[in-house]
Structure 1
Amino acid sequence: VLIISVTTVSPFYSLIGSLASVLLFNWFFIAPKFSFHTYETEYAVTFAIMLISALITGTLAGKLKENARSSALEAFRVKVLFDTNQLLQGAGNTDDAIRITAGQIKKLVSRNVAVYPVNKNGALGKAIISDAGGSEGDTVFEEENERKTAEKVFHDRRDMDTSSLFNDGGSQYHAISINGHCYGVVCIRSDNDPLDGFEHSVLMSIIGECALTLENIHNEEEKKKASDAARNEQIRSNLLRSISHDIRTPLTSISGNASNLLYHYTQMDDEMRSQIFSDIYNDSEWLIELVENLLSISRLENGQMTIHLSVDILNDVIEESLKHIDGSSVRHHITVSDNEMILVKMDTRLIMQVLINLVNNAIKNTQIGSEIHIRSEKKDKYVMVSVIDNGPGIPDEIKPHIFELFYTGQNKVADGRRGLGLGLALCKSIIEAHNGTITLTDNKPSGCCFTFSLPLVEEVNTNEQIYNTGRGG
Structure 2
Amino acid sequence: MKEGMTMDFRFTDRKRAGRDFAISLMMVAFTTLVSLFFKSLDFQDATLTITYLLGVMGVAALTRGKFFGILASFLSVLSFNFFFTQPIFTFYINHPDYLVTFIVMFVASVLISSLTTRLTHQTELSNLRQERLRLLDEINRLFIHSVSIQDTLGKVADLSASYFKGEVKIVVLTQGGPLLFKSVVPFETDDFEPTIITHPLTTESEMSGSFSLKTHHPLTEETAQFTLNVANQISAALEKEALLRTQTQAQIEIREQKLRNSLLGAISHDLRTPLATIIGSTDTIIENYDQLNEPIKKELLTNIRDDAEWLIESVENILSFTRVEDGKLKLNKQMESVEDLFGDLVSHVVSTAKQKFVLDVPDELLMVPMDGALMEKVLLNLLNNAVKYSPLDSEITLRAYRKGKTAVFEVSDHGLGIPKEQHEKIFERFYSGDVGYLTKRKGLGLGLSICKAIVEAHNGSISAHDNHPQGSLFRVVLPLEGGLSDE
- Fold similarity call, TM over 0.5: no
- TM-score tier by shorter-chain length is 0.3 to 0.5
Larger Rg: 1
What TM-score, normalized by structure 2, do the two folds share?
0.42
